[in-house]
Amino acid sequence: MARESYAALQAKIEKEINKLQKKAEVLQTKRRKPVINSIITSMREYDITPEEIAAAYGAGKPARAATGVRRKAGAPARAANAAKRAVAPKYRHPQTGETWSGRGKAPRWLAAEEAAGATRESFLIKE
């Protein structure tokens, strides 16, 4: 009996999720219409063609997926092909030459040296 009530509860929750998703889509459509109308008005006012917009936007880029991942409001946009920058090493093991940037979890060699009594500052790269 517990199994049936779980399945019924899950179905009810999924139904509510679908209902809320539809409401969100309607809200987004309502908010987008005036923006699109404003863009079209500006295009007509300044005699801008859709081809010019496509070229300016980046005609070679794939179209945005309707169900894509959305950024939080105010979050900075990130280029799709932005390369991660290499971070200069901050710590170096004197015997092995292994390095660590100081970001993320400390490497095993540093954790082992600290457990043996060495200080992290003793492995700083001095430039």
22-66: per-residue pLDDT in tens?
Answer: 999 999 999 998 999 999 999 999 999 888 888 888 765 555 555
Kindly state the tokens that stand for 68: 């894509």
- The span from the CA of 28 to the CA of 39, in Å, is 17
- pTM given for the model: 0.36
Is the pLDDT assigned to residue 125 strictly greater than 80?
A: yes
Is the pLDDT assigned to residue 117 strictly greater than 90?
A: yes
Strands (E), the chain: 91-92, 99-100
- The span from the CA of 121 to the CA of 111, in Å, is 13
The pLDDT of residue 70 is 56
Structure-model confidence comparison of residues 16 and 70, the more confident one: 16
The pLDDT of residue 77 is 58
